[in-house]
Amino acid sequence: MTGSSPQPLLGPVERIVLVVAAIVLAVVLSTMRGGLQSASPLEQLARQSLEPEVALSNGRPTMVEFYADWCQVCREMAPAMLKLERSTQQQLDVVMVNVDNPRWQDLVDRYDVNGIPQLNLFDANGDAVGRSIGLRREEELSLLANALIQGSPLPSLQGLGRVSERDDESPLQASLTAGPRSHG
């Protein structure tokens, strides 16, 4: 063996070409995955969601969606919800409540969430006016939003229930005193 040092595998030109190729590949992959905003519509909605208390007290009608990250129907409905949220800004608040987050357990109990996605609909005064469980298509969401914004009656849609407040007890008290398993 002689005292010469081994030759590098790549010369300076090859290194530069390799770095440029890596950058181009990273940009292409990032673009294919949704660019810099690669968050799913569900994640985008959750990230920009108002706190429920704020939404229900700011003088705008509100649509609260109870959801879970693992819920396929919630993910399927999310693009339409995101479009609705963007098209009705300053007219309607869209609030996202993750049922798997212990922080929201009081709301899950208060609004008797027993299926997701569940939409709870509130007028501009923060009063509950309706509830829907299950998938809602873009057209149905638009009809609901327009009714809430205009303060008009909710449309007649399959699976949509209207809510009326009882004067003698709150909905939470009612659910605690008499439920489907209550044999008093």
User: Which residue in this structure is represented by tokens 């292409």?
Assistant: 28
User: Which among 55, 74, 116, 154 is annotated as catalytic?
Assistant: 74
In 3-state terms, the chain is what percent helix, strand and coil (to 5)? 40, 15, 45
Instruction: Establish whether 71 is a catalytic residue.
Output: yes
36 an active-site residue?
A: no
User: Which candidate in 46, 71, 78, 113 is catalytic?
Assistant: 71
Angstrom distances, CA of residue 68 to CA of 4, 125, 168: 64, 27, 33
List C-alpha distances in Å: 75 to 11, 18, 78, 118, 121: 49, 39, 5, 13, 20
* Torsion angles phi and psi, residue 43, rounded to 5: -65, -40
- The phi, psi pair for 158, rounded to 5°, reads -55, 130
Go through the chain and tell me how many residues it has.
Answer: 184
Task: Tell me how far apart the alpha carbons of residues 130 and 128 are, in angstroms, rounded to a whole number.
Answer: 6
Q: Do residues 157 and 146 lie in contact, with contact meaning Cβ atoms separated by under 8 Å? A: no
Paired strand residues for 131: 120, 161
Active site residues: 71, 74
